[in-house]
Amino acid sequence: MSIGDVALGAKVGVSLEVRGATCDSAVQRRTWRGDPIDFNFSIEAETDVKQIVVLARVFIDDAQIGVLAFTRPVIGADKKPQGVGDKVRLKRHKRVFLSYSSKDRETVAAIATAYASAGIEHFWDRASLKSGEEWSPRLRKEIERADLFHLCWSKSAASSEWVEKEASYALSRRRRAKKPDITVQMLDGPPWAKHPDSLDSINFDDFVRAAIVGYARGDGET
C-alpha cells in the first residue's frame, strides 16, 4: 500500500505488536530505493486462542507516520494463511505533539526533522512559548490538535515535571476523546529510565525500548 512520498535513502520501518500470539521479531526496517518493499513477520498463536489482534506501526526514520490495526482468526496450521489484502488501510497521522525534556533538544530536533520530511505537521518548539507559558492553554490546545502524542523518554524526561504533565494530559484526553494515539521513544538506555506511576497506562514496554533507540546507531537493519 502507498504510504506517501518517501525520500530515497530513508529508512522505512514496520513494527508489530500482537495480542494472543508471539512474533518472531518486533521491528524490521528497509532502505527505500524507489522499489516496493516487503515486510514479512511470522506469528505463532498462543494455545486455545481463537483470534489474534495485530497492531503494525509504520515509520520513516524516527517518524511514526501511521498505524494499521486488524484481527485474524486462528484457523489451524493446515490452512493457508490469510493475507491482509485491501481490507486494512493505513491510518496516517496528520499532526504530532513531541513531548521531551529540554536537555534532549538536540536529539529531538532530528526526530522533528524526520516528521517534517514525512510531511507531517508537528509541535515541538517550546522556544516559541513566552516566559511563564510553559504549561498553559496553548500546550493543552496543541495536544488536543494532535492525533499522535510522541513521548521522547529519557533520564532527563523522567525528572521533568512538564513532560509528566503533558503525558498525563494526553492520557486524560485519550480517555475522553479517543485521541491522541500515544507512542514512546526511548532516547537513552538500557537501563531504561523509570516512569512515574501516573503514567502506568502508557505502554513503556513495547518494541521501542529495544528497536527505535537503535535507529541512530544503525542497529537491526535487514
What local confidence, expressed as pLDDT, does residue 84 receive?
Answer: 52
Contact 68, 89 (CB under 8 A): yes
Tell me the residue length of the chain.
Answer: 222
Q: How many CB atoms lie within 10 A of CB 24?
A: 11
What domain range includes position 24?
A: 11-91
Same domain, yes or no: 110 and 208:
yes
Confidence at residue 209, expressed as pLDDT on a 0 to 100 scale = 44
- Measured at the CA of 105, the angle between CA 100 and CA 107, to 5 degrees, comes to 95
- At 214 the pLDDT is 44
Q: Are residues 101 and 210 in the same domain?
A: yes
Inter-CA distances, 167 with 110, 118, 201, Å: 21, 24, 10
* pLDDT digit string (tens) for the chain, length 222 residues: 677 778 889 889 888 888 888 887 677 889 999 898 888 888 888 888 888 888 888 988 888 899 888 888 887 665 555 555 556 788 889 999 999 998 999 989 988 998 998 889 999 876 566 666 556 788 889 999 999 999 999 999 999 888 999 999 999 999 899 889 988 888 887 777 888 877 877 766 554 444 444 444 444 444
Q: Indicate which CATH number applies to the domain containing 120.
A: 3.40.50.10140
Pairwise CA distance, residues 196 & 211, whole Å: 22
What does pTM read for this prediction? 0.78
1 falls within a domain = no
Cα 196 to the center of its chain, rounded Å: 20
In angstroms, the CA 157 to CA 145 distance is: 22
41 & 103 share domain: no
Of 76, 91, 106, which residue sits at a domain end?
91
d(CA 207, CA 186): 10
